Structure 1
């Protein structure tokens, strides 16, 4: 039964009950007034308070746009509600005491009580009630607005991540098919092997499509399939070295990120060097960060130094969306013969 009572009515009941108890305590401990008279007056005042505030609360809620009004209009509305509620509260209180219960004076005495009595007290009570009501709605609107903003931000990030993935996967497939096409006439058997390798890569890629992160171990399996495919094309010109800390295999990374960086190293590095070169892949933990390094033979040339290719842009965007400014990505010429790409991600 209590679960069906709204927050508003809980606040009404508890608020006016607290007012009643505080005044009873004050009257019985300090003023030592008549028990019956005090009880009747406070009970009638509290009931009139509930009725009057509820009436004007119902009226104000009929205009649902009041919460989005300007500060000046809300201040004017607050003043009107305080005065109106205060007047109705005290008039109904005195009328109930004088004409219903028989307390107080009737006729001119009733009017005099209204004018000279506790009208200011009624204004004070209604001011407190409406102040709490306005503040409550202000905080509730801000909280709702903040939650809506977070939901919108999460939706935008999800859409951006999916868009980046959609851009990246066709980019990879296009490069892989070019590699296979180069083998079709030259060596059909190797071309069939390359198609098998590509099938394995696509199968692994599709299994991670719905994930925003995957384990490094899964990502390495894709990279190894990709490198096996490229090794058919480059043969002895492509050499690969790994330095993988076993403790990092279960750490999460953006899907296809490592494969994209390795693909970039081969396309812009190894393929441009006549004698070929080495791709070095390392993964280690440094403090509270996971560092992945890809080094390859070759050199970055302007304007490639800043890494504006599609694959590199997708890497930066995904790291930013997933980790904000806590992750970094940089690519530069390590020395006269080597390019280094380094990704640093937080562990938590």
Structure 2
């Protein structure tokens, strides 16, 4: 039964009950039956007046008002409900206590007392709704941000897969006429990569081990294309294999190293993939032969920007990504992420 009582009515009941008890046992000097009856009537009138004015302000949709209009509304409902409560008290004194000789000072104090009481009531009401509305708006904002974040991640993933597939198909196309047997092997490797990438699509992060397996399949495919021109080395700390990383991120950076480093060098080059713990962070580096010149028109922009976006969406400012020329022959891409 009590579960059906709203917070508003709980506040009304407990608030006015407190008012009754304080006046009955604290401020009363010589209470009698008539005093308690009048106090009950006055308490009920307090409930009725505040509830009536609450109904009025809700009909006026005060939440849509500007702050200055809300303050003006607060003043008038305080005056209105306070005056109504005072009139009820005056009538009780006049007709129940038969007090016909009330002094002006007593009347003034009674009016001020009613205004103070209503000020407390309405201040509590407005502040409560302001806090609740602010909390609801904050929750809505966080929900919206989470939704936008999820949509952005899905959009980035949806862009990554076609980007990768087109490059892989170009590798296979180069083998079809030259060596059909190797082309069939390349198709098998591509099938493995696509199967792994589709599984990774379902999660925001995957283990480093799973991500590394995708990269190894991709590099196995590229090794068929480049043969001895491509040399791959790994420096992987086993403790990092269970750590979580964004899906397809490592593959994107390795693909970027192949496309813009190795493929542009006649003699080919080296790709080195490292994964280590650095304090409370997971450090991943990809080094490749070549020189980095950032230019979105040459294709660098998409892979690097998608990496930055995903790291920002998943980790905020706790993660970082940079790519630079390590020396005159090597490019280094470096990712730092918090350990998950």
Measure the CA separation in 1 of the matches of 2:259 and 2:30.
Answer: 94
Deviation at 1:113, TM superposition (A): 10
Matched with 2:36 is 39
Q: Deviations over 1:104-125 (max 9, x none)?
A: 227x669989955612111110
Pairs within 5 Å for 1:1-348: 1-27=1-27, 32-64=29-61, 66-96=62-92, 98-99=94-95, 103-105=96-98, 115=107, 118-301=110-293, 303=295, 308-347=300-339
Contact kept? 2:294, 2:300, Cα under 8 Å: no
Query: Aligned partners of 2:253, 2:109: CA distance in 1, in Å?
Result: 82
User: Structure 1 residues 171, 343: CA separation in 2 closer, same or farther (over 3 Å shift)?
Assistant: same
Structure 1 range deviating more: 265-274 or 18-27: 18-27
Is the Cα contact below 8 Å between 1:95 and 1:110 reproduced in 2? no
Cα RMSD for the two superposed structures = 2.3
Give 1:139 deviation, angstroms.
Answer: 1.1
CA deviations over 1:72-108 (Å, ceiling 9, x no partner): 2111101110011011112223435654xxx2227x6
Cα shift at 1:314: 0.3
Contact 1:104 1:110 in 2 (8 A): no
1:13 is paired with a residue whose SS is: helix
- CA distance in 2 between counterparts of 1:250 and 1:17 reads 60
Stretches of structure 2 that go unaligned for 5 or more consecutive residues are: none
Q: Deviations over 1:26-73 (max 9, x none)?
A: 23xxx6422535533433322211111001101111122x11211221
1:90–1:114 contact (8 Å) kept in structure 2:
no
Q: How far apart are residue 308 of structure 1 and its match?
A: 4.9
Q: Could you state the TM-score of these two structures normalised by the residue count of structure 2?
A: 0.93
Compare 130-139 and 87-96 and name the one that shifted more.
87-96
CA deviations 1:264-303 (Å, max 9, x no partner) are 1111111122222211111111111111111111111354
CA contact (8 A) 2:294 2:301 kept: no
SS of the residue corresponding to residue 26 of structure 2 reads: helix
CA distance in 1, matches of 2:187, 2:103: 99
Offset at 1:191? 0.4
Normalising by structure 1, what TM-score? 0.91
Return the offset for 1:236: 1.3
1:88–1:234 distance in 2 versus 1, CA, 3 Å:
same
CA distance in 1 between counterparts of 2:161 and 2:261 reads 21
* Pairwise CA distance, 1:189: 0.6
Aligned residues: 339
Shift of 1:20: 2.4
Tell me the CA shift for residue 148 of structure 1. Answer: 1.1
